[in-house]
Amino acid sequence: MTSVADMTVSPRDVERYEEKDFGFWLYLMSDAVIFACLFATYLVMVGNAAGGPTPKDVFELDRAAAETALLLLSSATFGIAAVALSAGERGKVLLWLAVTFLLGAGFIYLEIDEFAGMIAEGAGPQRSGFLSAFFTLVGTHGLHVTVGLCWILVMMGQVYFKGITAPVASRLMRLGLFWHFLDIIWVLIFSVVYLPGLL
């Protein structure tokens, strides 16, 4: 096992990875703009319950708290994987990526359970403007987390089969940006959707 710090790298390679990082950063910023539009839509629509369930009727504080805890912890465990990556410890990278995956999967399980429960109670996305906007906003975030979970699996495969090479390390750092970015969006979701809705 070679530490990343021990490896030699050509300036051209470093430049290429920096270009890719910048491109990925631009994608994240445009994704942030998409989420901002969904938040604006939600805030405009939240009062339009059409005589159906209001936020207070359908949101659960403990579930939102559990989802928040899982996603925040998964952000921290990804950080530990990044620390292991910079030390070149392949086994630890795999272990902490696996922990991150399980925490993220727990989050998705809670969210799907919440959506299924709401739809079963007749509070599906077609019920009112409020619920359409809620499912679009929170569902888009959940879809991103699901894609992130698939990406974690792919990267675990790459770390396992290819080892910690420069391209793999570079991709892992971009996955980290994506994962931490999704946690920021979730902070906004519980601060804009769940907490004011339950107040």
> Is 11 a residue that touches another protein (CB under 8 A)?
no
Quote the least distance from Cβ 194 to another protein, whole Å. 8
Q: What are the Cα distances from residue 82, in Å, to 25, 29, 165, 197?
A: 18, 22, 14, 36
> Is 120 a residue that touches another protein (CB under 8 A)?
no
- DSSP for 53-87 reads --HHHH--HHHHHHHHHHHHHHHHHHHHHHHHHHT
Quote the least distance from Cβ 10 to another protein, whole Å. 7
Quote the least distance from Cβ 104 to another protein, whole Å. 15
Q: With respect to another protein, which residue has the nearer C-beta, 56 or 116? A: 56
* d(C-alpha 96, C-alpha 105), whole Å: 14
> Is 22 a residue that touches another protein (CB under 8 A)?
yes
Specify the amino acid at residue 105. Answer: A
* d(C-alpha 167, C-alpha 27), whole Å: 19
Stretch that binds another protein, among 98-106, 124-132, 136-144, 184-192 (CB under 8 A): 184-192
Say if residues 141 and 189 touch (Cβ distance below 8 Å): yes
Binders of another protein among 38-77, rule CB under 8 A? 39-41, 43-44, 61, 64-65, 68, 72-73, 75-76
CB contact set of 24 (below 8 Å; sequence gap of 6+) = 174, 177, 178
**φ and ψ of 54, to 5 deg:** -100, 170
**Which residues are at the interface with another protein (CB under 8 A)?**
2-10, 13-14, 17-18, 21-22, 25-26, 29-30, 32-33, 36-37, 39-41, 43-44, 61, 64-65, 68, 72-73, 75-76, 79-80, 82-83, 85-86, 162-163, 165-167, 169-170, 173, 177, 180-181, 183-184, 187-188, 190-192, 195-196, 198-199
